[in-house]
Amino acid sequence: MTEVIERLQRKFAFFESRWVTCAKPVLVAILAFGLSACASLSRDSSENRQQIAAQITAGEVEVIERERVAADNRPSTLLPSTLAEARSVFMDHSPIVQDRLLAYDITLSDINQSEGGYSNPTLALGRFTGVGDSVKRLFEVGFSLIDLVSIPAANRSLEYELMRARAQVELDLFEGLVRLEKAWVAAGVSGARLELRQHQTLFLGALAALSADYLEAGNITEVEHQARLQAYLTAQNELGLARSEAHGAKSELGQLLGTPYAVFSELSVPIWSTAQHAPLEHTAVFESAREANKHLRSIATQIPIADNLRDRLRWARWLPGLGMTIEVEREDGTQKGPKIEGDLPTFDTQSDALVSMSKRAQRARQQVALLERDIEFEIGRLVDQLDAEAEVLRRLEHQILPLQRKRLALRQREESYMLIDVFELAEEKLILLEQLHELIDATERYWLDQASLSHQRGSLLREADTLVWQQFLPGGLTGSPAGEKGYDDHGVHRMDHSDHDMSGSAYQMEHEAHGKDHSGHRMTQGMDQADRKVGNVDAGRRPAANGVLGAHSSHQQSDSHEQALKQKPQAKKKASTVDGAASGH
């Protein structure tokens, strides 16, 4: 195009040096305006009709042109419950997707704009007065013959550019989907982690409360109690972090989905099981990745572009700039005849450019080879890692956790026979909880790696069944003793026991009174020591309650527990009043 313009300029310069022209510019302008107006009208109408959109077809991201839908581009209020739904929301409503599509649309328009266009033919009319009354009239029509060759070649280049732009936008969208998948996994995992932390905090809180009861009875030392209190406070810290992590994970997911801020926290994402894992064969995975890896595909589009540019330059540099003119000149008689003019390609002025193009083509191939090698190694790493993680999870799910659960049940039997105490029993449950954390962490690693592998394979993550990690907790998350000998049973047993003649007997009451006396006396000393150490009366006496109330934020899951702990000091105050009365001999 530039070449044509330059040639025209040279042609006009030639005319101006010889004759004065007046009509030609006017005609050219009118002609150009008319054609341009037609093209613009055509473009406006297509803009209103078509829209660039993206869709997922057979696991592939595809950019399409479709009818404009009035409802598009509005923020989505959908809260997807499956990854498939999330993908759909992402493709239709994500601001990120919209932005990429728009960018592609712009590129597309630019390419369309550049596509084209043979140079307009030149038309020249002229009348010149010479010496005396001689008059010279000129009619000239010109057309650049080189355009017949160069324009189709340039258009082919633009097709490649379009292909590259399309591959790039599909890569961008695919990577967006991978990001969505990872955000989906992270949201599910962090939700499970939060739930587990809540359970753990509740458990350690109850244990610290029991420890406070033992301390108050004078049966354990402050040092023993403080260790349990510290465990509870640490659990609260971890709960806070888990809550923040879950919030952050949902926030990122909501951001990707274009969910309004007001509702993103309502997103509920499951954590997936890895039970369906099948060992992967590296070579097969790599072969499929070579075919479908989006990054590879995008990079590979540079090869034909570079080849095309090089080839074009290779033969075009020797082409003379040819122009054909039909000239009619009448002065005394009529003279007419065609004129062909052009450059003489004597010197190879594009030799370095050709070298550069060749290197570019070579580099494009090397980049593809390099990327293929990287992909092969990355797939190897991921396949090994996935198999290892699947094995870790299989052992955790089917061996370690059931064993620990059984161990906890057996330790419970020991506690029932007073072979261990409840605090030792609690250690077993804490081990179980830590193993559940391991399960959740390993599940997260597994699915993030699966997402990375899918990314390499150019495919989308396959959805899996929900992992019911709570199944490994005795009685489930809520501690419901269904199917196990549990609390409710014991409630009944306590009632049975109350019917026995020991309860309410004068003997027992007498001993209880003695016990209170003893406990009250001891604990007063304990309080004094605690006061000296901490400078706070409650610090030693009711550390669980004090620590909890001081450190806890208003989180729903712990509220009931906190309420209970808040009431505890009152109950204890009452108890100590009774004790005090009893101790006054």
Partner 1 sequence: MGGGSLLAAYSAAGMASNTPPVTRDESELVSDSAAPCTPKVRTLNGWTLPYRLNGDVKEFHLVAEPVEHEFAPGTRATCWGYNGSTPGPTIEAVEGDRVRIFVTNHLPEHTTIHWHGIILPSGMDGVGGLSQPHIQPGETFVYEFVLRQHGTHMYHPHADEMTQMAFGMMGMFIIHPKVPRERSPDRDYCLLAHNWALHPGTYRPDPSVLQDFDLWTFNSKVFPAIDPVVAATGERVRIRIGNLSMWNHPIHLHGVQFQVTGSDGGAWPEALWRSESTEIVGVGQMRDIEFTAVPGDWAFHCHMAHHTMNAMGRDLANPVGVKVSEEARQLTKLLPGYQPMGEGGMAEHAMHVAMGHHEGPENTLPMMVGQGPHGPIEMGGMLTMVKVRDDLPKGQFSDPGWFKPPAGQVARVVDPRLAPPLRRSE
CA separation for the pair 438, 405 (Å, rounded): 15
- For residues 512 and 506, the answer to whether their CB atoms sit within 8 Å is no
Cα angle 310, 313, 319 (rounded to 5 degrees) comes to 155
Smallest gap from Cβ 534 to partner 1, in A, equals 21
Q: Which is nearer to partner 1, 332 or 496 (CB)?
A: 496
CA distance 198 to 192: 10
The sign one gets for the Cα dihedral 2, 4, 5, 11 is positive
539 binds partner 1 (CB under 8 A): no
Scan residues 452-471 and list those touching partner 1 (CB under 8 A): none
Residue owning tokens 């109850």: 206
Task: Choose one: 53-61, 206-214, 315-323, 385-393; the region binding partner 1 (CB under 8 A).
Answer: 206-214
Smallest distance from partner 1 to CB 463, Å: 33
Rg, Å, the chain Cα set? 41
Rounded to the nearest whole angstrom, what is the least distance from the CB of residue 64 to partner 1 in the complex? 54
Q: Is 67 exposed, middle or buried (0-12, 13-18, 19+ CB in 10 A)?
A: exposed
Tokens for 188, please give them.
């599910």
- Identify which range of 19-27, 114-122, 244-252, 515-523 contacts partner 1 by CB under 8 A: 515-523
From the list 106-114, 145-153, 276-284, 478-486, the region that binds partner 1 by CB under 8 A is 478-486
Among 117, 240, 475, 580, binds partner 1 (CB under 8 A): 475
Other beta carbons within 10 angstroms of residue 457's beta carbon come to: 23
How far apart (Å, rounded) are the C-alpha atoms in residues 544 and 568? 9
Q: CB-wise, 267 or 539, nearer to partner 1?
A: 539
Q: Which is nearer to partner 1, 211 or 273 (CB)?
A: 211
Nearer to partner 1, 117 or 580 (CB): 580
Confirm or reject binding of residue 427 to partner 1 (CB under 8 A).
no
In this complex, which beta carbon is closest to partner 1, that of residue 170 or of residue 216?
216
Residue 128's φ and ψ, nearest 5 degrees, are -120, 135
Mask of contacts with partner 1, 215-254, x by CB under 8 A?
-xxxxx---x------------------------------
Determine the Cα–Cα distance for residues 205 and 502; give it in Å rounded to an integer. Answer: 32
The region of 58-66, 176-184, 205-213, 365-373 touching partner 1 under the rule CB under 8 A is 205-213
Nearest residue to 578 via CA among 524, 516, 522: 516
Among 203, 264, 272, 286, binds partner 1 (CB under 8 A): 203
Site string for partner 1, 407-426 (x = CB under 8 A): --xx-xxxxxxxxxxxx-xx
* Closer residue to partner 1 (CB): 266 or 427: 427
Q: Which of 571, 573, 577, 581 binds partner 1 (CB under 8 A)?
A: 571
Measured CA to CA in angstroms, residue 286 lies from 151, 254, 281, 283 at distances of 40, 33, 9, 5
Structure-token pair, residue 139 = 């009619």
Q: Is 515 in the site for partner 1 (CB under 8 A)?
A: yes
- Contact residue for partner 1 among 117, 240, 345, 474 (CB under 8 A): 474
- Say how many residues make up the chain: 585
β-pairing, 334-342 vs 322-330, is: antiparallel
For partner 1, the closer CB: 131 or 502: 502
Provide the minimum distance between the beta carbon of 444 and partner 1 in the complex, in angstroms, as a whole number: 25
Longest dimension (CA), the chain: 152
209, 439, 451, 467: residue in contact with partner 1 (rule CB under 8 A)? 209
**Total Cβ atoms within 10 A of residue 226:** 20
Shortest separation between residue 552's beta carbon and partner 1, angstroms = 13
Per CB under 8 A, contacts with partner 1 among 481-510 are 481, 484-487, 489-490, 493-494, 496-497, 500, 502-503, 506, 508
Pick the closer one to partner 1 by CB: 93 or 199.
199
> Closest Cα to residue 103, out of 172, 49, 48?
172
- How far, in Å, CA of 545 to CA of 87, rounded? 46
Residue 238: count other Cβ atoms within 10 Å of its Cβ: 17
Shortest distance, position 467 Cβ to partner 1, whole Å: 21
Asked if 128 interacts with partner 1 (CB under 8 A), we say no
Residues 6+ apart with CB under 8 A from 481: 475, 487, 488, 489
Angle between helices 147-217 and 95-114 (to 10 degrees): 170
Backbone angles phi, psi at 262, to 5 degrees: -65, -25
Q: Which is nearer to partner 1, 268 or 525 (CB)?
A: 525
Decide whether 243 or 542 has the Cβ nearer to partner 1: 542
The stretch near partner 1 (CB under 8 A) out of 137-145, 148-156, 262-270, 405-413 is 405-413
The answer for residues whose C-beta is within 8 angstroms of residue 234's C-beta and 6 or more apart is: none
Of 148, 147, 155, the closest CA to residue 113 belongs to 155
Closest CB 216 distance from partner 1, rounded Å: 7
Instruction: Please report, as ranges, the residues that interact with partner 1 according to CB under 8 A.
Output: 199, 202-203, 205-207, 209-210, 212-214, 216-220, 224, 409-410, 412-423, 425-426, 429, 474-475, 478-481, 484-487, 489-490, 493-494, 496-497, 500, 502-503, 506, 508, 511-512, 515-516, 518-519, 544, 561, 564-565, 567-568, 571, 575, 585
